[in-house]
Structure 1
């Protein structure tokens, strides 16, 4: 199994049909394959060799799609960078991975000088935007035009497909190593439900492609030689317009996107009757929002996916029939590629209905964390990926996620690790002690909330705190609310009891997670 397999099949079976749509650009399967072969040739000419990491920092586009094929075609490894990270975080990811080639678009071109300074190993920047490129960069189209095509090496199987960086509980991102087989097992296992991307699907990519959820939707479409419609980023009207204009049949939307769509006044001005399948995931969804979405897309069937980057990313699926049966609070049952159980502190399975840690096993479990053997050993034990999420299974094998054992917050579909934010908060001169928790939020699912003890005589506002935090980490991780207290609740060992900090915010909720 290899990522370029679907492209070769598409050229064979649908050579002259449209594979990609981006703005006014439309390219057939044959055209995409020819460009990918030339882009791979250009990478080879730049010295990219077997297993080298090639990064991209860009919004969604047809060129991002070509990058996803060309890098493995050239025998190299993908490194999609989180577009919401700060320059400091991006630089860490590039240094840690040993990346020497970076693709950037117009939106991130201004960051290149700072990245070059922070990452001396960064030898080549390829500009795939429409405007003038950063100084010293190479033009994307010029590279393709000037390169000879090369044969696909068909890098695949257990070979590394990509490094996908996710937030770290210790404050620095971790590179999740996923093989070609990892990704394809997850995609094929999900597709085996029959609820995702049928042959001939027209798939809208509004979720970012750097995110494993967005990439999974891309992979599902590649598997069935579907057509891909790209918009740079999610925006309600642009998304609604794209669905109507291109007669979209399938889309991956995180819960925050769904809520913004169904609550938008322009919703009923667009014909959404082409939609057949909506896949949602990356964070839990409010039942009321889901019910509104099912009315807004009456012809669509809804499927929820639960998982994580380390699982490539799908572990369980809640299919359309499960939605119809009223299992809306469940995360579904193990996919055909996945084995799921709930374990106690000793690692042994717990009986149905008893809350413990969710553990997952299968061919989709990551190879490990890049250059982090201790973290890998802690996460994968006896072949089981210990997710850090708390939940329980019912008698029919439906999984219910009730809390996070890790101090992770999911806000607008993005993972935020409290330790990372606390590290940034702790650098503020007014802060004596701090804790970061997730609290319910009607728009974002969860909101990053800071609880702070100040040094005597100091004052602090949430605006000051946000400005300080955004100097070192991405803006979406900065606390949106602030609570100043005289002291923290502590355990006998002196550890802050976050469950007590969360209690007053989550009282009345049926689970400590959104």
Structure 2
């Protein structure tokens, strides 16, 4: 098996079928496969082989798709990195994965801390002036368009996607070829994806949702992907109309934005399925959408560590507010703090078992052992299921804040704040937001004899963190609630309403 074999199969069956549309330029499956073959041969010429890491720091462009598929063909591991991260954050991840090769843009390469990356042997530029680095286009043109995906095992690592949990820093979730293939095939089966479907992809390809649930789902079915660099409501609606999109995948914030803009129902008439994942969707938003557009938003549930999907709310048996039932080959349990399985209607931690569960965290055996116990992935999410097995996600055990589908690790932000000379104590947590789902809030205790404004602290964070991690709300307080051992009680903070906020 090999993830890249799906485009080879479609290329044999329908070579002239349109695979990719980007900025109104189209590529057939023949074109895409040939480009992926050139990439595979290029990687080999650069000394990359089975198990070597190829870091991709790329926006949503055809270069990402080609580099990803080329890496899959030769059994290299694609490390897909968040383009919004700051140089210091990227250094941590590139050091951890030990990638000898990075494919990126000239703009993103300019900020790299190369002197701190001894394993990084070469940087290849896919967009912009390469300067002293190599040009991806030039290198590809020098390589043959003939290649074939090698046979791999179900447990051969395919991708490393960095995610943040509640203990330690960012961790690289290792997904196998078996994980990804089983997940995309299950999604194809549930959604009925066909070669005449057209999927709009504006969610980031570095994220598991865009990568597996949209890109691989579409390519496996021989469907067409209409790729956009990022979400822009106007451009997205224009693309839906122009390209006659049939499947629309997004996070809840996108649907909230479209509702706020009062998007004309006629603009969405070609869409047969609306899907949402990446963050919890409020029942109010889901119900409002259904009332306005006369079609439900089908939620799925999962996480990076589950490739990502574990459940899906069926379009044949849809239940409002539920994230559905387990996909084929996946089991879900709800357990109490002692690990005892709970009956329908009782809340507990959601556990996942199946072909979708990651191999583990890269270089983190202890974190892997904590996350996967007796074959069950402990999600840290709280949920319940009804008598028909439909899952409802009701809360999170973890303190991770989900901002528009992106995870924000509180300790990481707190560590930055503690680097400010005026900060004595800091607590980061999420508060509900109608557009983003959640936003980051900080409560700060200032050191005696010091003074600092909320805006100063936000600027301090903005210089060191990706924008979505920067606290939107900063509140200066006299003290923070703590338990007898001195641990800050974030539960109390979340439950406390204050009248003074600095934004």
Q: TM-score, normalised by structure 2?
A: 0.94
| In 2, Cα distance between equivalents of 1:351 and 1:478 | 40
Match of 1:509 in 2: none
| In 2, Cα distance between equivalents of 1:445 and 1:61 | 27
Per the alignment, in what secondary structure is the counterpart of residue 128 of structure 1? strand
Would you say the 8 A contact 1:199–1:224 is kept in 2? yes
CA 297–155 in structure 1, closer or farther in 2 if over 3 Å, else same:
farther
Match of 1:311 in 2: 306
Matched, 1:217 2:214: yes
Given candidates 320, 323, 328, the residue that maps to 2:315 is 320
Match of 2:172 in 1: 175
| In 2, Cα distance between equivalents of 1:335 and 1:204 | 23
Any idea what the Cα deviations from partners look like across 1:109-164, whole Å, max 9, x if unmatched?
Answer: 432xx3323312211112111x312x322112211110123332234521000111
CA 269–330 in structure 1, closer or farther in 2 if over 3 Å, else same:
closer
Any idea what the Cα deviations from partners look like across 1:213-272, whole Å, max 9, x if unmatched?
Answer: 11121111122111111111111111111111111111210111111122226x229732
Given candidates 237, 240, 245, the residue that maps to 2:242 is 245
Given candidates 117, 122, 125, the residue that maps to 1:127 is 125
Q: How many residues align?
A: 496
Matched, 1:469 2:461: yes
Matched, 1:9 2:9: yes
Would you say the 8 A contact 2:286–2:297 is kept in 1? no
Any idea what the Cα deviations from partners look like across 1:166-190, whole Å, max 9, x if unmatched?
Answer: 1243452100011010112222223
| In 2, Cα distance between equivalents of 1:467 and 1:437 | 18
| In 2, Cα distance between equivalents of 1:230 and 1:24 | 9
| In 1, Cα distance between equivalents of 2:49 and 2:386 | 49
Q: What is the root-mean-square deviation of aligned Cα atoms in Å?
A: 1.9
| In 2, Cα distance between equivalents of 1:270 and 1:136 | 50
Match of 1:362 in 2: 354
| In 1, Cα distance between equivalents of 2:136 and 2:82 | 21
Match of 1:162 in 2: 159
* 407-416 or 153-162, larger mean C-alpha shift: 153-162
Any idea what the Cα deviations from partners look like across 1:38-84, whole Å, max 9, x if unmatched?
Answer: 11111111111211000111111222111121001122111110112
Matched, 1:275 2:271: yes
CA 72–402 in structure 1, closer or farther in 2 if over 3 Å, else same:
same
* 428-437 or 451-460, larger mean C-alpha shift: 451-460
Given candidates 130, 142, 146, the residue that maps to 1:146 is 142
Would you say the 8 A contact 1:3–1:156 is kept in 2? no
Structure 1 position 321, deviation (Å) = 4.2
Would you say the 8 A contact 1:196–1:220 is kept in 2? no
| In 1, Cα distance between equivalents of 2:173 and 2:345 | 31
Structure 1 position 319, deviation (Å) = 2.3
Matched, 1:230 2:222: no
| Equivalences for residues 197-212 of structure 1 within 5 A | 197-212=193-208
Per the alignment, in what secondary structure is the counterpart of residue 113 of structure 2? helix
Match of 1:20 in 2: 20
| In 2, Cα distance between equivalents of 1:377 and 1:56 | 28
Structure 1 position 292, deviation (Å) = 3.7
Would you say the 8 A contact 2:458–2:474 is kept in 1? no
Match of 1:510 in 2: none
Matched, 1:287 2:279: no
Would you say the 8 A contact 1:84–1:474 is kept in 2? yes
| In 2, Cα distance between equivalents of 1:464 and 1:452 | 12
Match of 1:453 in 2: 445
Match of 2:86 in 1: 86
Match of 2:501 in 1: none
Structure 1 position 481, deviation (Å) = 0.5
Q: TM-score, normalised by structure 1?
A: 0.92
CA 301–498 in structure 1, closer or farther in 2 if over 3 Å, else same:
closer
| In 2, Cα distance between equivalents of 1:411 and 1:388 | 17
| In 2, Cα distance between equivalents of 1:97 and 1:280 | 30
Any idea what the Cα deviations from partners look like across 1:446-504, whole Å, max 9, x if unmatched?
Answer: 11111111111323322211221233321211111012222222212222111111113
Match of 1:410 in 2: 402
Per the alignment, in what secondary structure is the counterpart of residue 141 of structure 1? helix
Gaps of 5+ in 2: 499-503
Per the alignment, in what secondary structure is the counterpart of residue 123 of structure 2? strand
| In 2, Cα distance between equivalents of 1:278 and 1:335 | 18
Per the alignment, in what secondary structure is the counterpart of residue 499 of structure 1? helix
Given candidates 328, 332, 340, the residue that maps to 1:348 is 340
Per the alignment, in what secondary structure is the counterpart of residue 396 of structure 1? coil
Given candidates 260, 263, 268, the residue that maps to 1:263 is 260
| In 1, Cα distance between equivalents of 2:151 and 2:349 | 38
Gaps of 5+ in 1: 507-514
Matched, 1:401 2:393: yes
